[in-house]
Amino acid sequence: MLLVAYGAPERLEDVEPYLRDVRGGRPTPVEVVEELRGRYARIGGRSPLLERSMEQAGALARLLGNNAPVYVGMRHWHPYIRDVLARIARDGFSRVVAIPLAPHYSRLSIGAYQEALEQGRGPLEVATVRQWYDHPRFLDAVTDRVRDALARFEPRDRDRVFLLFTAHSLPRRILQDGDPYCSQLEASVRGVLDRLGRNGERARIAYQSAGRTPEPWLEPDAGAVLEELAAAGEHQVLLCPIGFVSDHIEVLYDVDIAYQELARSRALRLERPASLNASPPMIEALAGLARSTAASRGWEARTI
């Protein structure tokens, strides 16, 4: 088993080389590097992404119960996907089920993971999970977190709390290619709302953390939606980053700091559910994906 994620710097000194990797070796303007360093400094000087991913891997290995390790590889930082695949081969395995730690498919995200896995697989057979936006245990995991977060509000207010679901923005050109990213996100939100017994009247989808390129990115922007909600007289919002499955800068800074500052300036109470991280239903979703993908290839689990 191999869990793959985007990657993130673990020290402030790593920010510049990390950005260089993301940008394909092109230098990053100094002001951009310093701004991102400042953001990481405000969340403790590092990203917990690798740590959270390792916790997910450990929990998944325990649940699968065949004593085989679950590896973690990153697309843009250590441990790189290519290096982890080489390690898996050295450890004596020949077949790998790879699960991107992102539920919704886009050729710019999951497609890029698939490319990295193909380029680095060497002699290994790799079966990559393409998407899992509608996996029942994933939707259960999100719903559990939303319910827990709604419990922070007064009972009389809970049905009136506005639900704002967010995911990472991507360049808008994906829509011209028939990319399923947005439709899969909408399906995930419908699944959660159904479990909550809500009809979606007081819920919206928005996009956050757009990149620094001049091309148009997916809209609406989450910050702009918060502004609209405040102007419309809303006072309580639960922002659910449904596109993210663990703590990292897009949650800990973009939501917990930047959007919180915006909300306070508009007299909005803004809460968010805890990240899924290694919650039991999240790990059960990963285990189900691992087993079904292996079974679809006719692979049997190896006990060591």
Q: In the prediction, which pLDDT does 66 show?
A: 84
Q: Do 266 and 230 touch, CB atoms closer than 8 A?
A: yes
Query: Do 77 and 172 reside in the same domain of the chain?
Result: no
State which residues form the domain around 18.
2-132+280-296
Rounded to the nearest 5°, which phi and psi values hold at 301?
A: -65, 140
Helix (H) / strand (E) containing 87: helix 81-90
Query: Which CATH number characterizes residue 6's domain?
Result: 3.40.50.1400
Domain membership of residue 259 (yes or no) is yes
Could you tell me if 123 and 162 lie in one domain?
Answer: no
State the total domains in the chain.
2
Residue type, 129: V
Residue whose tokens read 């993301």 = 22
* 108/106 Cα distance (integer angstroms): 5
Residue 215 per-residue DSSP state: S
pLDDT digits (tens, 9 = 90+) for 200-228: 999 999 999 999 889 999 999 999 999 99
Is residue 304 one of the residues assigned to a domain? no
Residue 78 lies in a domain: yes
Sheet holding 236-240, edge to edge: 203-208, 162-168, 236-240, 269-271
What pLDDT does 296 receive? 95
State whether 123 and 10 are in the same domain: yes
* Phi, psi dihedral angles at 232 (to 5 degrees): -85, 0
For the chain, which residues score pLDDT lower than 70? 301-304
Do 9 and 119 fall into the same domain? yes
Q: Is residue 218 part of a domain?
A: yes
pLDDT score recorded for residue 162: 98
Residue-wise pLDDT tens digits, 89-134: 999 999 999 999 999 999 999 999 999 999 999 999 999 999 999 9
Q: Is 254 helix (H, G, I), strand (E, B) or coil?
A: helix
